[in-house]
Structures are given as C-alpha cells and as structure tokens.
C-alpha cells in the first residue's frame, strides 16, 4: 500500500506547483464568496471552491507525506536498524490509512455537496 502511495506521490510531485496554485485560487474564491463580494454570488461558487480546496489539500498532503518511504531492510542488517525501519514503515502505513480514509470521506462529501449544489 505505501509503495503505491509513493508512486502516486512521485507523479503528483511533478504537478506540485499546479496543485498549490489551484488550492490558493480556490481558497481565495471561497473567502471572497463568504465575505459577500458584490461581483461574485456567494451561493454559486462557495460549494465548488470548497470542494476544490479540499481536493487540493488532499493531493498536496499525499504528495508531501509519501515522497520518501523507507525501503524494507533484509535480515543481514542489525536488529536496531530493522526495528527502526519497521517503526517508520508502520508510521507510514498509519498515515496511509488516514489519507485513504480522508480521501473516501472527501468523495462522500463531494457527492453530497455537489448534489446539494445542483438541487439549489
């Protein structure tokens, strides 16, 4: 699981600047829509900008957290090195579960919010 996340992170690393720009732009649009600017209707753009900001945060976290996953060590290494490596890999697995569960929650939230946005 963490090797797949590392591959995804290496692909996302190439689009890091684009992810940051999209996140900042959507945050700016969200803040402008909540502050009630007269040029932008607040109901029209608040939900899509919130979703784009959430997805950009998810992608940014994924590419930053899983870019350097430690390799699994073999039995010839000292036990302290293997134990340390196992603990670091366990931490990455826990982070992987957290990122995947947050992604699943974001999918459900996106569905619910887009359905609400289309109905309104």
pTM of the model: 0.83
In angstroms, the Cα distances linking 79 to 75, 90, 93 are 8, 16, 21
Q: Would you say 45 and 33 are in contact if contact means Cβ atoms under 8 Å apart?
A: yes
Which residue ranges make up each domain of the chain? 2-119
Q: pLDDT tens track of the chain, all 120 residues?
A: 888 888 889 999 999 999 999 999 999 988 888 777 665 565 678 889 999 999 999 999 999 988 888 888 878 888 888 888 889 989 999 999 999 999 999 999 999 999 988 886
What distance lies between CA 60 and its chain's CA centroid?
A: 5
């Amino acid at each position: 699981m963490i090797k797949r996340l590392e591959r995804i992170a290496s692909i996302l690393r190439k689009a890091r600047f684009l992810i940051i720009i999209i996140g900042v732009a959507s945050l700016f649009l969200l803040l402008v829509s909540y502050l009630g600017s007269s040029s932008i209707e607040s109901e029209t753009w608040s939900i899509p900008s919130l979703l784009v900001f959430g997805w950009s945060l998810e992608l940014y976290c994924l590419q930053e957290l899983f870019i350097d996953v430690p390799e699994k060590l073999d039995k010839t290494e000292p036990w302290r090195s293997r134990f340390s490596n196992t603990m670091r890999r366990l931490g990455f697995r826990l982070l992987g579960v957290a990122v995947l569960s947050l992604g699943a929650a974001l999918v459900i939230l996106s569905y619910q919010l887009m359905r609400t946005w289309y109905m309104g």
